């Protein structure tokens, strides 16, 4: 399992929470430009460093597809996935 921080908004407020995901169900990881721009412009009510980046993760499962916006660039998420795979192989 991989622990990530997800960001979501309700109306104009943004919230964060931790999620655990099964890496084998990730279909797509891509940068989330809308949230990146909102943070740079100071339009998010989160106390994040303006250099933080966000990615969208698309998960596939029995119930279809589910999208999450998570903290970290697409490259950072891919690195976490690779580290997680190495750990699994060693265990």
Q: What is the pLDDT of residues 14-56, one digit of tens each?
A: 999 999 999 989 999 999 999 999 999 999 999 999 899 999 9
pTM above 0.85, yes or no: no
d(CA 57, CA 76): 12
Q: What is the pLDDT of residue 61?
A: 80
Six-digit token string for 25:
């169900």
Q: Identify whether the C-beta of residue 37 lies closer than 8 Å to the C-beta of residue 53.
A: no
């Amino acid at each position: 399992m991989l622990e990530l921080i997800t960001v979501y908004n309700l109306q104009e407020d943004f919230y964060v929470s931790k999620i655990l995901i099964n890496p084998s169900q990730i279909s797509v990881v891509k940068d989330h430009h809308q949230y990146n721009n909102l943070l740079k412009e100071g339009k998010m009510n989160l106390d994040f460093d303006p250099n933080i980046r966000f990615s969208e993760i698309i998960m596939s499962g029995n119930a279809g597809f589910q999208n999450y916006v998570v903290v970290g660039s697409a490259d950072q998420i891919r690195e976490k996935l690779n580290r997680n795979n190495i750990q699994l192989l060693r265990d």
